[in-house]
Structure 1
Amino acid sequence: RTPVTLSSNHAFQACAFNRSATSPASGRALCEKPSQAASYLTPNRRFHRANRLAACQRRALVNSFNRSMGHLKLHIPGPIEVSDKTFEAFRTPMIGHRSQDFKDLYTAVMPNLQALLYTERLVYLGTSSAWGIMEGAIRNLVTKRVLTCMKGAFSDKWLDVAKRCGKEAEALQVEWGSPILPEQIDERLATGEFDAITLVHNETSTGVMSPLAEIAQLKAKYPDVMFIVDSVSSLSGVKIEFDRLGIDLLLAGT
């Protein structure tokens, strides 16, 4: 398809045409051409008007790009295609994050998450990407040394995250395409050098899943070691019984 380029003047016109909006107080169009900016405005009001005009340009450019490209299907690990039901939910009006409406929504979502994770514990929801939760896990649960189980592109990043957080970290590296086995972890934990391990349940880059249930059995042998499990590409697709497994932290992102 031929890309569409809009000049600044066209962008303002397109935005004004699409929105057809006016200011309730003055009746003036919210999206005006630069030449229409009144000279009597104070510097502060000129600044805010310039910001509004720039926002109009951006919206017009994005809308034009979307129209020219159509619906793009992403064949990547994420983000992914969503159902019509989910898409419609995204289109509902925003609510205040400190409002009672949000509290009610959070309360309604929690039982479903607990059922999905097979847990009676409170599920923590964060607004960061999964990497933000990973960093939080490392900073809060590692005090001595962490063993990072590495078997692909995403699990390998755990070592970098740990070191960037200022933690001592050691890699348990296996060949890409191979799973992490319980006996490999057992051998390292037996040294007593670690107080935490990180494990990617399903390695997104290779599609290889490690035997989480068997690995979790090591928790009884090493109760003081924090078991941190990354289930970004397995949660909801694979049954993970959090409470029964006895692991310390299970994270995912969407």
Structure 2
Amino acid sequence: MGGKVIAQQANDNTGLYLLFAPGKRPDRDSIRRFAERHPAVSLSHDPFDPPTPGLIAASADGDAPAAPAGADLAEKVWVELLRDGLTFDLRGLVPGRACPVPHVENLFDMEDAPNLSTCEGMRIMPGPHLAGGERTVPVMRGMIALARDLVHHFDDLAAVAWPPAKSAIGRRFFESTVTAWLEGGAFPALGLTAFREDIDGALQSVGLEHWIGQELRIEPPLSADRASATRLGVRLVNQLVLVGGLDESERIIAPDGTRLILRPSRNGRFIRVWRE
């Protein structure tokens, strides 16, 4: 399921990216119709909407403000969506420019998706009202839930890119794993995090730090069986997201009965896992 690719790069890791087939990005009207059909979502602000009478002074000739054009248009074509009391900006709408596709190294269920180099990106970002709380679990969960709703609605939405894990996730896999999580199931560790082999043979998570402030390292020789170590990593990531990280050593029993030690590294950046 995993793979490697280098895509067009966007340097800012804030938010989540929606990857559309070429020429298939929606416009403002399409997003308005999307919001009308989803009870949990509403369109809370559109900069192109005419001002409400009595709230904003009319122009001298009585006409509504003209829509911006040219280079200004690319920055102005966006909307604010409200989901479960949280506001998110959606950028990259037609007729503005697409958002650059972020750097991707880890692919999940992307066999039927278009080549990333041809995809057109849109971006969901926490709104200004959420400044300072962008990386709290409720905000990230709300943003991912909104992405799931958009995937469900737009057939041409091919994949989701999650910069903290350098991952691109195919629409079916993203929708199924995220829906299960939102309904009380396991955290989507394959996609919202990833795993890579370190130079010393350890299996290390990618992107878990975005959720709990620490990465997971399954140390050799426990990491020698890559498939088994990845399954263990998925289980541990789910538990660590639930508890919010690890401050002191713990002993646990793995599903196969192996007794394990989990211990924070000296600098606190990693959670290291060994057989006891």
TM-score, normalised via structure 1 length = 0.20
Larger RCO, structures 1/2 (Cα 8 Å, 6+ apart): 2
Q: Judging by fraction of residues, say which structure has more helix.
A: 1
TM-score, normalised via structure 2 length = 0.19
Flag the structure with larger Rg. Answer: 1
Q: Judging by fraction of residues, say which structure has more strand.
A: 2
